[in-house]
Amino acid sequence: MAAKKILNDPRNVVSEMIEGLVLANDGRVRKLDGVDAIVRTDLPAGKVALLIGGGSGHEPVFHGFVGANMADGAACGQVFAAPSPEIVYEAAKAVHRGNGIVFLYGNYAGDNMNFDIASEMLEDDGIDVRTIRVRDDVAAAPPERMDDRRGVAGDLYMIKIVGGAATELTDIDEVERVARKAEAAIRSIGVAVSPGSIPETGKLTFELGEDEIEVGMGAHGEAGVSRQKLAPADDVADQLADALLRDLPFHGGDEVALLINNLGATTMMEMLIVNRRIRQILADRNISVHRSDVGTYLTVQEMAGFSITLMKLDAELKHFLDLPCDSFGFKQP
């Protein structure tokens, strides 16, 4: 049975979504002609550019995070599919202000290849491109295989920090340094309760039994670490927290940012109950929470479930994380 969604022609979901997104930005972003990419309308000259992107269907990631002190532009792929080199290249040209471009995206084979091809094209044009791949999903691979880890909800904090750095710092080397530090300090893990579906096929991306959950499932239904029986919120939170804390590892005395992300269809009530438990665990371990964000940042269509992200902070990361910002998907006064 096809999933129930209110759509027009499912083949047009991405272009129609972009049109709606641009309008929801009230003039602060524009769509490029003939290309599925959006860019800020008020880009300062000489700024180090930040271009993000990836498959659509994860709104507000990525294209919802274009704005002041966030990304300068986003290359939008089709649902769950990386944008083509052409889209990335055109978006990059549109955001470039003569001071180099930082590419920031999730570490997936498709994104890596398409952004790399675009990067080679830009280098042929003499443009300096630096690539940062978000690899925060601890469930995807053990720490010794970081390159096999995917990018998930940590994208938000990465875009926030690198967006701030690319606004305040004028040297692309410095922006890259901050980005690499942030990327090394962030860890996430999720749990899926029920699947989402791709609009064009109407088919669920995986199957999960009535009373089953999958810990560590990826943002496209990639298999996680374990499929298990539905359990109380505190037990699930304990399990996720344990996997996160021992991975970096996080220690007593650390200061962190905590992000609890709705994968699409989970209630805010459930998320807050999980937040309550995570805060108890962090307090017990003497880990202080500098800031917390509980909301919907990276979705997988109507997938139910949530993810938890922890980022270890220092003064510099705190500074960039706390800068005011203004984008459709995340605003900070």
78 binding other proteins? (CB under 8 A): yes
Compute the least distance from the CB of residue 205 to other proteins, in Å. Answer: 5
Q: Which of 80, 105, 306, 330 binds other proteins (CB under 8 A)?
A: 80
Q: Which of 105, 108, 297, 320 binds other proteins (CB under 8 A)?
A: 108
Query: Which segment (106-114, 176-184, 260-268, 277-285) binds other proteins by CB under 8 A?
Result: 106-114
Q: Which of 12, 201, 226, 288 binds other proteins (CB under 8 A)?
A: 201
84 binding other proteins? (CB under 8 A): yes
Q: Which of 21, 50, 68, 140 binds other proteins (CB under 8 A)?
A: 140
Size of the site for other proteins (CB under 8 A): 33
Q: Which of 7, 24, 223, 268 binds other proteins (CB under 8 A)?
A: 223
Compute the least distance from the CB of residue 187 to other proteins, in Å. Answer: 17
Active site residue 290: no
110 binding other proteins? (CB under 8 A): yes
Active site residue 63: no
39 binding other proteins? (CB under 8 A): no
Q: Which of 92, 191, 198, 248 binds other proteins (CB under 8 A)?
A: 198
Question: Residue by residue, what is the 3-state secondary structure of the chain?
Answer: CCCCCCCCCHHHHHHHHHHHHHHHCCCCEEECCCCCEEEECCCCCCCCEEEEEEEECCCCCCHHHEEECCECEEEEEEECCCCCHHHHHHHHHHHCCCCCEEEEEECCHHHHHHHHHHHHHHHHCCCCEEEEEECCECCCCCHHHHHHCCCCCCHHHHHHHHHHHHHHCCCHHHHHHHHHHHHHCEEEEEEEEECCECCCCCCECCCCCCCEEEECCCCCCCCCCEEEECCCHHHHHHHHHHHHHCCCCCCCCCEEEEEEEECCCCCHHHHHHHHHHHHHHHHHCCCEEEEEEEECCCCECECEEEEEEEEECCHHHHHHHHCCEEECCCEEC
The nearer residue to other proteins, 69 or 114, going by C-beta atoms, is 114
Query: Which segment (114-122, 232-240, 243-251, 256-264) binds other proteins by CB under 8 A?
Result: 114-122
Compute the least distance from the CB of residue 105 to other proteins, in Å. Answer: 13
CB 3 within 8 A of CB 302: yes
Q: Which of 5, 203, 251, 276 binds other proteins (CB under 8 A)?
A: 203
CB 166 within 8 A of CB 99: no
CB 248 within 8 A of CB 187: yes
Compute the least distance from the CB of residue 115 to other proteins, in Å. Answer: 9
User: Residue with structure tokens 């769950």?
Assistant: 80
The nearer residue to other proteins, 125 or 314, going by C-beta atoms, is 125
Which of these is catalytic: 96, 220, 290, 319?
A: 220
Compute the least distance from the CB of residue 327 to other proteins, in Å. Answer: 23
CA 253 to chain centre: 27
Torsion 294-151-40-127 (CA) sign: positive
94 binding other proteins? (CB under 8 A): no
Give the residues lining the site for other proteins (CB under 8 A).
Answer: 55, 77-87, 108-110, 113-114, 116-117, 140, 148, 150, 198, 200-201, 203, 205, 218, 220-224
Instruction: Please list the active-site residues.
Output: 58, 220
